[in-house]
């Protein structure tokens, strides 16, 4: 984490996977944290242990509710807007809520930052690049997104949110930044959220076939959650407006990922191929030169270490 310390931070979606790790890291650095989450996809269990710590407050509220956002205790100098269903299973189940939090929720969080004079960071996503025609994807690439496809509610929600953040910065002078987060993995992911790592780990630990979409030749560049949090906070501590890509540098096929998880778990699971989702990206790897040059950031946790930590967490959770 950057050496910068904030006095008080607001984290929307703070009971979610990445959001809860951000809350913990900020508390460790001495920052007071207000975590806002409606628990539509987040879990109070992700932050339950933080409630006994000085400076932490959990508020069950929806970022799309302007009264709730205005009613929060003031004095924030950092606002991290991470509220949004982020996995295919969630945003396909909650399409209108996903669009609402990208539009109204983003505007409410921006207003909170403007009123308090806070630094604002939007959690955007590699999904703004869609099924990319350029590889690797750099921040200047405009993407290849199907605006009416099944994934569009998430893709377009984030693309609109980026436009809204840019307009707010232009019109009101709000101190904003946009981080485009690529596929992140680690402890506190949910087994049923449809993403590859938690799905494969849960299946391997249970001895079930690993369900690989298509022929598994599509690629991903995963980043361990601690590294993602480092990147987000480095951007927050900088003067960069972004967007800035934060993601892993090692590209791997989904089939290779499945085999690696079987090996690390010692499972006897086999591979079962299933239909590939519509608009599923064929290749995904970030160009992270901007993050390296401007933020001094690069991933530090290698594949084996990150997957072993993640598998260990899932095994302990299953045994609890």
**For residues 211 and 203, what is the distance between their CA atoms, to the nearest angstrom?**
8
Neighbours of 230 (CB within 10 A): 22
Q: Is 211 exposed, middle or buried (0-12, 13-18, 19+ CB in 10 A)?
A: middle
Instruction: Please give the radius of gyration of the chain, using alpha carbons only, rounded to the nearest integer.
Output: 19
DSSP of 1-14? --S---SEEEEETT
151-173 core/surface letters (b: 16 or more CB in 10 A; e: else): bbbbbbbbbebbebbbebbeeee
CA distances from 123 to 80, 158, 205, 213, 292 (A): 7, 8, 31, 27, 18
Catalytic residues: 154
């Amino acid at each position: 984490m950057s050496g910068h310390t904030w006095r008080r931070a607001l984290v929307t979606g703070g009971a979610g996977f990445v959001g809860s790790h951000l809350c913990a890291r900020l508390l460790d650095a001495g920052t007071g944290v207000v975590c806002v989450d409606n628990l539509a996809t987040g879990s109070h269990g992700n932050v339950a242990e933080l409630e006994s710590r000085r400076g932490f407050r959990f508020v069950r509220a929806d970022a799309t509710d302007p009264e709730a956002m205005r009613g929060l205790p003031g004095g924030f100098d950092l606002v991290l807007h991470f509220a949004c269903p982020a996995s295919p299973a969630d945003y396909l189940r909650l399409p209108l809520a996903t669009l609402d939090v990208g539009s109204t929720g983003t505007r409410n969080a921006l207003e909170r930052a403007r009123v308090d004079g806070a630094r604002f960071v939007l959690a955007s996503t590699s999904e703004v690049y869609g099924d990319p025609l350029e590889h690797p994807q750099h921040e200047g690439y405009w993407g290849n997104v199907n605006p009416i496809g099944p994934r569009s509610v998430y893709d377009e929600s984030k693309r609109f949110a980026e436009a809204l953040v840019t307009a707010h910065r232009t019109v009101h002078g709000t101190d904003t930044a946009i981080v485009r987060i690529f596929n992140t993995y680690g402890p506190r992911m949910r087994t049923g959220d449809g993403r590859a790592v938690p799905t494969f780990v849960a299946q391997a630990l249970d001895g079930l076939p690993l369900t690989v979409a298509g022929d598994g030749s599509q690629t991903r560049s995963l980043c361990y959650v601690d590294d993602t949090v480092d990147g987000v906070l480095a951007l927050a501590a900088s003067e960069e407006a972004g967007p800035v890509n934060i993601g892993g540098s090692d590209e791997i096929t989904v089939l290779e990922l499945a085999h690696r998880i079987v090996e690390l778990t010692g499972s006897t699971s086999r591979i079962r191929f299933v239909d590939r989702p519509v608009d599923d990206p064929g290749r995904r790897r970030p160009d992270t030169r901007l993050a390296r040059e401007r933020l001094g950031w690069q991933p530090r946790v290698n594949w084996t270490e990150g997957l072993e930590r993640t598998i260990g967490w899932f095994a302990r959770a299953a045994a609890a």
